[in-house]
Structure 1
Amino acid sequence: MSDTTMSEQKIRLDNLEQALDAVHAVARAVLVPRDLPVLYRTIYQVLATVIPYDAGYIEIFDQARDSMQTVFAIDEGSETFSTDNWNYHSSELISWMVAQRQSLLFGDLHADMRTRFPTAKPRPFGNEEKRSRAWLSVPLLLGEHMIGIFNIQSYQTGIYGPFEQTLLEALANPVAVALENARLLSELEHAVSGLKIPLIPLTDNILIVPLVGVLDQLRWERLTEAVLETISAQGCEEVLLDGSGIVSFDIHTVQALTTLVQA
């Protein structure tokens, strides 16, 4: 085996090791409870360690409205967050991906696109004065269920190939799981936020407050107000807080409990 061949194999192994590290890093990142903007930013920060890109975006598929939301876009470090829906049927590329559940790779978007999609026009975002060249999008799927689209772009031509596509598809799986979990958690929080927390008088002087579900800032404010009103109305001297039913017990929950006790 020549020195050149050994050197090439070492480079491939190093690239593979970096790729595996990136997949594991994204998988770890999406398991940690965090707000979505931080999650999006973390995904692209990890991605930058193994795949060069100048721009990219994450689309979320809204099945009920049959539309897309570009929830995160980055262009040369400038980030944009949005919850606006847009008609993806106006984009031939995105429509094809939704229908086929397959990735799209262009070595030079504006040159190669004419061959596969003669009438298509890229949807602009970020710095519209620059033309994207290398372009790679993979579907975010849970089974056959479309979650959204994961995209990276470069102003250079030909820098993405089968290796980058395979890596981005591997990263797409934990990203899809994280986004779906975030959606389900948001629905749960919305449903639970409408529930009243019962205040149970144990005796004339003791009040029991069972804390259940996800307690966001609004529910904590309502709870504090209700407890203080009940104490004032009934003359309770002791309040017992039962936190065994709290879904998420983090630093924010501790701070809210401290505020309630001090009130």
Structure 2
Amino acid sequence: MTTGTVAGSGRLPTPGRAFAGELVRELAQAAVTTRTGVLRVTGEPGGDLYVVRGLVVTVDSPGAPGVRALLARPGRTSTGPADLRVVAMMAALDGCFAIASGWIGSCCWQPDSGPDGPEQPPVPGIDPGWLLLETERRLGALAHGRVSPHRNHLSLTERGRALLSAPGGGRRHEILLWANGRRSCRDISMLLCRSLYAVTVEVARMLEDELLAIAPVTAEPQAPGIEPNRAGPVRFLLPRRRRGASGINDALPPCPPRPARGQRLLTPIRTERA
């Protein structure tokens, strides 16, 4: 799909959330105007989309492994130009999936880093329309997967422990090793240097096979000043006022006492010295 096709089609997908409409509009406008810059997406996990002449060249998100992390995966041998291009495209797709599968707040363009914008990695520019279509496809494939890549923590079941103790290996064993009830798909993908989408798909299948379970949410420690009320909701304890604690009497003199109703205020009589 070319940039002209994206601009003329008039229909770009909205990945994941209604708030992503702003992201779609900004990328569509960048494709029309061949804009160069960094489109920052706030939220959880959020991320940066590096755009060069209307095409996306890099997607950097804390929710997915980057190019260096994917290249550092144990067992990878080829690091030629063709392999670098494939890995860079995988990282861009994975970064966009991480952004869209989380919570999107807003989008804003950052100042260009130079006359030519961000440095272009060893990958041709990715058409924004294709990138968003592929992201929407991935979100749709996991729509009934019962797991969030970012929020849900994973724990082992009895079947998962049995498989982990059995001889052999494989990708499922890698995931089972790190599923301790405190890690999400995002955490495990970072530890394994594997694509977030690939890990999430495998986790969804392992949940169906009852090898993994969603860990229950543990109660967070209570902040100071909050007391549980057994008879009702949480009760917030207000600080007790202490007389003179505000320090107002140090700055202003106290007001004279007001007389009671029907009573005259007695004032001292001045006497002048003869």
Same fold (TM over 0.5): no
Q: Could you tell me the TM-score, scaled by structure 1's length? A: 0.22
Higher normalized helix content (fraction of residues) = 1
Larger relative contact order (Cα-Cα within 8 Å, sequence gap ≥ 6): 2
Q: Could you tell me the TM-score, scaled by structure 2's length? A: 0.21
Higher normalized strand content (fraction of residues) = 1
Which of the two has higher C-alpha Rg?
A: 2
